[in-house]
């Protein structure tokens, strides 16, 4: 069996709290796997342990207990980061460098040089749409541009695993949409993406699987369509169903002669699931359909 792209086993992180006796538990006994080629979303409210988990995966913070691996290599090994890229939350780069110089600097840190590095810089500036701003100092970049150059530096070493901490935080909706599209394109290229977010609609748009963290615990985890499914409710999708059939469907669907295309459980929104799991009271707008609702496919 191939190694998962990212593996977390029994991870606990306790930050010491001087003068308080006990420390602050940021992550509790967390175990999860991110398979190669998928987009995995680590969701949770502020302070739930998302960023700490990502930092431990990248060896920036040491675990109190447990182990994390990138492509089968222990995160504590520097070499495990050779195949990984990271975009921290609200990245701040050296503002005296231009976009191109920034990529060159990070490329050299990944031991790239010469023609390979120049070519990579060109590709990435094009990918993130910053060719025209390549010679501008980062001090003059907007928030969205900084996020995009941040994404480019994370990709400089052509990583197989990309770790993104709140990749769209503080970016306007258009910029945010661009970043999501970029993530989907990277997924198509086979890059595994592990991202943290509290923007649930976005996560629903791009993630294959999600894990919901609260107070350092993993409360729910799984494929998105399974997680947002509602128990005891079923959608039935019919093709070429007549008005008569629709009226009689509750009692005679099986005998009506309509083509049975498929069925699936009715879904709630990821946002609602999230709020239920982390115990929030406020109710978001629902797109849930009543039980037994029949959709007519045109």
Partner 1 sequence: MSASPVLWQRRFLALVGNTLTDLTRQRVFYFALIFAFLLIASSVFMAQFSFQQEFQILKDVSLGAMSMVTSLLAVVATARLLPQDVEDRTVYTILSKPVPRFTYLLGKLGGILLLLALSTLLMTAMFFAVLYLREQTVLGETAREMASAPREELEAALRAVQQSAFNLDLVPAIATIYLKAMVLAALTLFVSTFATTNLFTVVVMVFVYFIGHLQATAREYWLHSQGGGWLAQTFLAVVALLFPDLQSFNLIDDAVAGTAIPLALFGKTVLLGLFYTIVYTLLGTVVFYGKEL
Binding site for partner 1 (CB under 8 A): 15, 55, 58-62, 78-79, 81-82, 84-94, 96-97, 105-106, 108-111, 113, 150, 153-154, 157, 163
Strands (E), 175-231: 192-197, 209-214, 217-223
CB of 233 to partner 1, least distance (A): 43
Cα(271)–Cα(286) distance, integer angstroms: 9
Cβ distance to partner 1 smaller for residue 41 or 85: 85
Cβ distance to partner 1 smaller for residue 148 or 272: 148
Q: Which two tokens stand for residue 45?
A: 């409210």
CB of 94 to partner 1, least distance (A): 6
Closest by CA to 266, choosing from 294, 233, 237, is 233
CB of 159 to partner 1, least distance (A): 10
CB of 105 to partner 1, least distance (A): 6
CB of 266 to partner 1, least distance (A): 41
Cβ distance to partner 1 smaller for residue 157 or 268: 157
Cβ distance to partner 1 smaller for residue 128 or 270: 128
CB of 55 to partner 1, least distance (A): 7
Cβ distance to partner 1 smaller for residue 114 or 173: 114
Contacts 24+ apart (CB under 8 A), 43-47: 43/196, 43/197, 43/198, 43/200, 43/203, 43/210, 43/211, 43/212, 43/213, 43/270, 43/274, 44/196, 44/198, 44/212, 44/213, 44/214, 44/278, 45/198, 45/214, 45/278, 46/198, 47/215
SS3 133: helix
For 37: left if phi > 0, alpha if psi spans -120 to 50, otherwise beta; the answer is: left
Cβ distance to partner 1 smaller for residue 77 or 248: 77
């Amino acid at each position: 069996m191939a190694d998962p792209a990212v593996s977390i086993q029994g991870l606990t992180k306790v930050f010491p709290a001087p003068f308080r006796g006990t420390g602050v538990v940021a992550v509790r006994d967390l175990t999860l796997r991110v398979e190669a080629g998928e987009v995995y979303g680590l969701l949770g409210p502020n302070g739930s342990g998302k960023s700490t988990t990502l930092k431990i995966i990248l060896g920036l913070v040491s675990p109190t207990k447990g182990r994390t691996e990138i492509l089968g290599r222990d995160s504590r090994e520097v070499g495990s980061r050779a195949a990984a890229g990271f975009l921290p939350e609200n990245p701040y780069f050296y503002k005296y460098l231009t976009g191109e110089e920034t990529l060159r600097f990070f490329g050299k840190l990944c031991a790239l040089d010469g023609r390979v590095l120049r070519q990579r810089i060109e590709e990435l500036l094009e990918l993130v749409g910053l060719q025209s701003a390549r010679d501008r100092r980062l001090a003059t970049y907007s928030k969205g541009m900084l996020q995009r150059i941040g994404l480019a530096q994370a990709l400089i070493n052509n990583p197989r695993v990309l770790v993104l901490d709140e990749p769209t935080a503080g970016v306007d909706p258009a910029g945010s949409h661009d970043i999501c599209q970029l993530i989907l394109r990277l997924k198509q290229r086979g890059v595994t993406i592990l991202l943290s977010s509290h923007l649930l609609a976005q996560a629903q748009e791009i993630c294959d699987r999600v894990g919901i963290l609260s107070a350092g615990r993993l409360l729910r985890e799984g494929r998105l369509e399974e997680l947002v499914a509602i128990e005891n409710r079923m959608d039935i999708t019919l093709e070429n169903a007549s008005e008569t059939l629709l009226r009689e469907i509750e009692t005679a669907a099986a005998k009506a002669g309509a083509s049975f295309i498929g069925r699936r459980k009715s879904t709630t929104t990821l946002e609602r699931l999230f709020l239920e799991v982390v115990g929030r009271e406020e109710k978001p707008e629902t797109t849930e359909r009543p039980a037994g609702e029949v959709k007519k496919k045109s």
